[in-house]
Chains A and B, each alone.
Chain A
Amino acid sequence: MFQAKIYVTLRKSVLDPQGGVVRKSLFALGYQNVPEVRIGRYMVVDLEVAHREEAEKQVKDMCDKLLVNPVIEDYTFELVEV
């Protein structure tokens, strides 16, 4: 069995209003060395699959079909055997 840890973020070209607000808030707290904050989504998906290649293929499919909107989002993922 594998566990996929999927990180989804807004693409660089897309304005991230939440990230902007958090950056300003950090600035107010004294963290003036933070040029950018991007807010994203973290998903943990368990897969009952025997082989890593199959798990990888399925996670990519899931991201392309449902979990990620490629118009505005990018993703990366890690696979851990559990």
Chain B
Amino acid sequence: MKFGVVVFPGSNCDADCLHAIQTVTGQPAEYIWHKSGSVDGFDCIVLPGGFSYGDYLRCGAVARFSPVMTPVIEFAQRGGLVMGICNGFQVLTEAGLLPGALHRNKNLQFLCHDTYLRVENNTTPYTCLAAEGQVIKVPIAHGEGNYFADPETLRQLEENKQVLFRYCDPQGEITPAANPNGSLNNIAGICNQQGNVLGMMPHPERCAEAVLGNTDGQLIFQSLLDFWQRRCG
């Protein structure tokens, strides 16, 4: 399984993602420069965190028109695995690959701390190794992670079980106090209706090694590999 990590000008979690993927999955991973016109040969594309194009205009709004996004969008529409973390999630919503939008945190602060997430759907490529309702600890680091969607979109997301991660307390309870940024329904991560495109604000690549004191993020990369190996028989 070959991973590609897209590098936009201003991406700053690209090296962490590449390292985490290689370390956790043992699979090959390469950078893909934002001017690349092709994603041929890759099985999973990761849009990393950071501040693509300086977050000018809106987070992800300019990156969405990078040359590499044309093949990334085609790849996703063909069912290819595309995962956006933090700024990558913002790019995916701007590109229309995921519904809704991410705007300023409710308290206007840049938030950089651990959060607890409850896995809400363990039947996707990104969560297939999770136990039902498993709680994982994953850090966030963002100023604009406040998930918004209109009521009808929100209803569809819930109905289709597209909410994969919700901010919760350490016991797994979904409470207003556990919601760091004002996201509707405590949403921390969603997938598209087909389940092949994931967007999440928390950073699994920052907690995927014992040396960092937390390995909960491994779940997502290991799930992806497991999904892929089962699919390829």
Interface: A21 (CB within 8 A)? yes
Beta-carbon contact of A18 and B57 below 8 Å: no
**Residues A69 and B61 in contact, CB atoms below 8 Å apart:** yes
- Per-position binary interface string of chain A over residues 1-35, scored 1 when its CB falls under 8 Å from any chain B CB and 0 otherwise: 00000000010011101100100000000000000
Most buried by A among B58, B61, B62: B58
On chain A, the number of residues with a Cβ less than 8 Å from chain B's Cβ atoms is 12
CB-based contact A69/B94 at 8 Å:
yes
B106 touches A71 (CB 8 A): no
Beta-carbon contact of A72 and B148 below 8 Å: yes
Q: Nearest 6 CB-CB pairs, A to B?
A: A71-B101, A72-B101, A17-B108, A17-B106, A72-B103, A17-B104
Total number of B residues with any Cβ neighbor in A under 8 Å: 21
Chain A 43-82 residues near chain B, CB threshold 8 A: 66-67, 69, 71-72
A residues within 8 Å of B by Cβ?
10, 13-15, 17-18, 21, 66-67, 69, 71-72
A71-B57 in contact (CB<8A):
no
Given A15-B182, A17-B182, A21-B108: A69 in contact with B101 (beta carbons within 8 A): yes
- Indicate if the CB atoms of B93 and A17 lie closer than 8 Å: no
Tell me if B107 is interfacial: C-beta within 8 Å of chain A: yes
Q: Interface digits, B48-90 against A, CB 8 Å rule (1 contact, 0 not)?
A: 0000000001100110010000000000000000000000000
Q: Is the CB of A10 within 8 A of B103?
A: yes
Tell me the minimal C-beta distance from A31 to chain B in angstroms: 20
**B100 within 8 A of partner (CB):** yes
Interface string of B140-155 (1 = CB under 8 A from A): 0000001011100000
* Distance between A74 CB and nearest chain B CB, rounded to angstroms: 13
Interface residue? B12 (CB, 8 A): no
Q: Chain A contacts of B58 at CB under 8 A?
A: 69
Chain B residues whose CB sits within 8 angstroms of the CB of A69 once the complex forms? 58, 61, 94, 101
Least CB distance, A79 to chain B, in whole angstroms: 21
The interface residues of chain A lying within 8 Å CB-to-CB of B108 are 17-18, 21
Report how far A33 CA is from B191 CA in the complex, Å.
Answer: 44
Of chain B, the residue at the smallest CB distance from A72 is B101
Q: Is B192 an interface residue (CB 8 A)?
A: no
Given the known interface contacts A17-B104, A17-B108, the answer about A71 and B182 at a Cβ–Cβ threshold of 8 Å is no
